[in-house]
Amino acid sequence: MRQYACARGILFPFLYPITDSSIPTDQIVRFAERLATAGVQLIQIRLKTASSTAVYAQTHALLAALVPRGVRLIVNDRPDIAAISGAGGVHIGQEDLPAEAARQICRPPQWVGVSTHNLDQLREADRTSADYIAVGPIFPTGTKGNPDPVVGVEFVAAARRLTRKPLVAIGGITAERAEAVYRAGADSLAVVSDLTQVADPAARVRQYAAAFERARAR
C-alpha cells in the first residue's frame, strides 16, 4: 500500500501517524513496526516533555526499526536530534526555531515541516524553504495540553488555495472524518489517538487509505 499525494513535486504519504508520548519506547517500536507493515511511509516521534537523552534514545530505536522498512521518521521540535541521528526530518511549531534556522541544521534530503494555525502563519510558512505545512487543529483534540483554536475543515480549503506545498491536516481527525478533510485539500492527515487507541492499527490504516482513494476519485 503505497499511496501518495503529489504537491509541489513531493510525493507525500497520505497518512502521518504521530507517536503517543505516554507509551514506553519498546511498545512504540512495536506499534511503529505494525504501521510500517500496514503500508505507512512516515511517522513522527513526539516527546514534548522528555529529556534530550530520552528523545535521542527513542529516535535511535525507531530508526533502527523503520529505516530498513523504508519509513521516514520525523522528529518533533528538535532539529539537532533529527540531524545527528540521521532521521528523515524535523517538525517545528510556532514557538520553536524558525523554519530557515531549522533548515540550517536539517539539510536536504531531510524535510522541515511547520505547524500553522491561521492564514497569516500559513502565508509565512509558504515563503520559507519548509517542505510541507501542517494546519489545524481541524477538530477539537485532547492530545495537546493547550491547543490552539479549532479552525475547521473550511480552513484546509482556504489553505489549499494559498500554497502548493503539501498540506498535513491535524487535530481530532478520525477515520470517519478523513474523507471530508482529504476532499478539502489535505495531502495527508496527522493522527495520534485514532491509531494508538484502537485494537487493530493496521485495519485503521486501511480505512484511511480507502478514504484517501475515495476523495482522490472525486
pLDDT tens digits, residue range 138-176?
Answer: 999 876 667 789 999 999 999 999 999 999 999 999 999
- pLDDT greater than 70 at residue 109: yes
Q: What is the dihedral of CA 110, 60, 167, 181, to 10 degrees?
A: 160
Q: Report pLDDT for 147.
A: 76
Whole-angstrom distance, CA of residue 116 vs CA of residue 148: 10
Q: What is the dihedral of CA 181, 186, 190, 194, to 10 degrees?
A: 20
What residues contact residue 174 under an 8 Å CB cut-off, 6+ apart?
191, 194
- pLDDT greater than 70 at residue 40: yes
In one-letter notation, the amino acid at residue 40 is V
10: enclosing H helix or E strand:
strand 10-13
Q: Report pLDDT for 85.
A: 98
Percentage of the chain with pLDDT > 70?
A: 94
Q: Report pLDDT for 2.
A: 55
Domain boundaries, the chain: 4-217
Residue 122 exposure: Cα atoms within 13 Å on the Cβ side: 23
CA nearest to 115, candidates 140, 97, 139: 97
Average pLDDT for 43-66:
96
Q: What is the dihedral of CA 200, 206, 210, 212, to 10 degrees?
A: 100
Whole-angstrom distance, CA of residue 68 vs CA of residue 82: 17
Q: Mean pLDDT, the chain, as a whole number? A: 94
- pLDDT greater than 60 at residue 8: no
* Three-state DSSP state, 153: helix
In this prediction the pTM is 0.94
Assigned superfamily of 4-217: Aldolase class I (3.20.20.70)
- pLDDT greater than 70 at residue 9: no
